[in-house]
Structure 1
Amino acid sequence: ATAKLAAQDAWLSTPESIQAFREQVESLNPQTSSFQLASITDRSIQLDGRSIKIRIYDPGGTAPQPVLIYVHGACWVAGSLDSHDEVSRFLAHEGHAVVVATDYRLAPEHPYPAAHDDVFETIGWVRAHADELGVDRNRVALAGESAGAHLAAATAVRVMDEAAAEPLAFLLLVYAALDGSGSSWTECKGHYFASPEEARSRYGSPLWVDDLAGMPPTFNIYGEYESPRAEQELFVRKLREDGVAVRAYMNEGVGHDVQTWLSVTGERRAHKVAAGYVREGFGSAP
């Protein structure tokens, strides 16, 4: 087998450092929420031979409501329903849609393609239970930030590939990592991918997929100074060249600004743009 990708940076080089990073990510969620919803429900759902947790955020609209499946980031090794609770609340409240957050399996305990499979199968579960959830099975969209945006983009490619999969309403990417084989974030990728071949594969590097014509309308938010910016701009260009409707927003003056994204405080440009994209994608009122 090809040697495992190197986890180069010391901050994720040991089980203790991974645990410390997980605790740090959990601490970013605000202690109290600014967004009140009609209901928030935790569930365990059965996928293919396993179960994962999801959290359903219902803003209280008229059923059947559109539904946004949200995939959290944090290097493929951290993050949870709790760490991204405020972001999910915000998107449901301001996006006028039910949000289903997925607690996918984390690396290194569960390497590629575990998280990818969890996200893909969650889409099928939501469609199959649409009536129970009070959502419209024909208005299902996918969103994620950072590593979660990588999973969302890769899953959108898989939905495009599989003839039996119904198309997504749209794809929302925030501070996305799109090149699994690239030089950025190798310390994270080394825990998720077991080999360079996996990292460069169709669902490992959505950036290098040649045929994107079947992708859903895509919204992309990225930071002016973040290291994956070139990946994001190239992906936008490739989508446009293949005839996919794309909107892109560069958040000026920031880098990979995930801490602000999670806290939903302070500078709110990216959040307002994201909520607007959700409303636009579902054709909701502004």
Structure 2
Amino acid sequence: MNKSINYLLLVLSLFYAAQCQSQAAWLSTPESIEQFRDQVESFKPATTNIPLASVKDIKLKLDQRDIAIRVYKPSTKGPSPVLIYVHGACWVAGSLDSHDEVSRYLAKESNVTVVAIDYRLAPEFKYPAAHNDVYDAVKWIWDNAKSLDIDRTKFAISGESTGAYFAAATSIRALQETDAPKIVFQLLVYAALDGGGSSWTECKEQYFAQETDSRSDVGSPLWASSLAGLPTTFNIFGQYENSRAEEELFIRKLAEQGVSTHSFMNKDVGHDVVKWLSVTGDLKAHKKAVEYIKTGFGLE
């Protein structure tokens, strides 16, 4: 990759991080939150050039909630491995559409079914609303594997930024509950893992109603009472990632508790370049994600 692309990636990632980190004042009003949501939605291509066999939207009705999921199938042959994908954006923004291109890319290049999950956003919905949406949707996907033509023996979860936070929290909760999905690996990209930590403080204030919430096992995966038994964990982070320290600590804690771990540092970038596939042309993190997915599922 040439220096101009590296520079563009760094500027974009640092700009995005600065936007999230500087929202203390304008995240406090409904108008400012909508402005931030519009900014997140603007970072997507007008069209996509990633063809798939099928893309299907499904609206789940669970406990008087509507939860949207989108199923990306690269092939009509099944049942196939499935990767759950959870979008990020500071707990307050993001959607299936804002991260559509990434979901398509992972499905196409990994040749696995990807199911993206939407969730209720803060501050309108406080902790644990979004976590419950993600977990319940994952459980629904697991329970309906046959109709979705997916292989429950190859069932994994992924996410970027706060989406990785929800992915890790889901893996932890799945260990604690009976009749839970059997997750074979988790892929965490630019993860925010410390609910009470110093990174993304302004965003966390929108999600957590009280400090004790941010210290629960699913409120702060980094400080969960136990990480033993979690599935193989693949982690991708930026060299200048503002939450890099907590990601590296999480990986160390996993390894100390017997969890198989693999990490990749994306050099010369900061936070969350994954969703800018068509903006920058940077594929280092994307290709590593595909490699990890294939390794996790034992493909190729």
Q: Is contact 2:138–2:181 with CA below 8 Å preserved after alignment? A: no
2:134 to 115, 119, 129: 119
Give the aligned partner of residue 216 of structure 2: 201
Give the aligned partner of residue 108 of structure 1: 123
Q: Which runs of 5+ in 1 are unaligned?
A: 1-6
Equivalences, count: 277
Q: What pairs with 1:184-263 in structure 2 (closer than 5 Å)?
A: 184-256=199-271, 258=272, 260-263=273-276
Letter aligned with residue 177 of structure 1: A
Q: Is contact 1:58–1:97 with CA below 8 Å preserved after alignment? A: yes
TM-score by length of 1: 0.94
Q: Is contact 1:8–1:186 with CA below 8 Å preserved after alignment? A: no
Q: Distance in 2 between matches of 1:114 and 1:192?
A: 9
- Bigger shift: residues 172-181 or 49-58: 49-58
TM-aligned CA deviation for residue 32 of structure 1? 1.8
TM-aligned CA deviation for residue 127 of structure 1? 1.4
Q: Is contact 2:174–2:181 with CA below 8 Å preserved after alignment? A: yes
Letter aligned with residue 250 of structure 2: F
Q: Is contact 1:140–1:169 with CA below 8 Å preserved after alignment? A: yes
Q: Does 1:177 find its partner at 2:166?
A: no
Question: For residues 63-101 of structure 1, what are the alpha-carbon distances to aligned partners after superposition, in whole Å with 9 as ceiling and x for unaligned?
Answer: 110111110000011001110100110111112111111
Letter aligned with residue 162 of structure 2: A
Q: Is contact 1:70–1:88 with CA below 8 Å preserved after alignment? A: yes
Letter aligned with residue 196 of structure 2: S
Give the aligned partner of residue 14 of structure 1: 29
Give the aligned partner of residue 70 of structure 1: 85
TM-aligned CA deviation for residue 61 of structure 1? 5.2
2:46 to 7, 12, 31: 31
Give the aligned partner of residue 159 of structure 1: 174
TM-aligned CA deviation for residue 49 of structure 1? 2.9
Q: Distance in 2 between matches of 1:49 and 1:11?
A: 31
Q: Distance in 2 between matches of 1:62 and 1:245?
A: 30
Give the aligned partner of residue 75 of structure 2: 60
1:87 to 87, 92, 102: 102
Q: Does 1:133 find its partner at 2:185?
A: no
Identity over aligned residues, as a percent? 57
Aligned-residue CA RMSD in angstroms?
A: 1.3
Q: Is contact 2:191–2:247 with CA below 8 Å preserved after alignment? A: yes
Give the aligned partner of residue 49 of structure 1: 64
| Runs of 4 or more above 3 Å deviation | none
Q: Distance in 2 between matches of 1:233 and 1:153?
A: 14
Q: Does 1:278 find its partner at 2:293?
A: yes
Q: Distance in 2 between matches of 1:237 and 1:61?
A: 40
Letter aligned with residue 277 of structure 2: V
Letter aligned with residue 196 of structure 1: E
Letter aligned with residue 192 of structure 2: A
TM-aligned CA deviation for residue 8 of structure 1? 6.8
Question: For residues 165-200 of structure 1, what are the alpha-carbon distances to aligned partners after superposition, in whole Å with 9 as ceiling and x for unaligned?
Answer: 132011000000000000111110001000110011
Question: For residues 215-249 of structure 1, what are the alpha-carbon distances to aligned partners after superposition, in whole Å with 9 as ceiling and x for unaligned?
Answer: 01100000111111010000000010111111100
Question: For residues 131-154 of structure 1, what are the alpha-carbon distances to aligned partners after superposition, in whole Å with 9 as ceiling and x for unaligned?
Answer: 111101222111000011111111
TM-score by length of 2: 0.89
Indicate the SS of the match to 1:126. Answer: helix
TM-aligned CA deviation for residue 62 of structure 1? 2.4
Letter aligned with residue 283 of structure 1: G
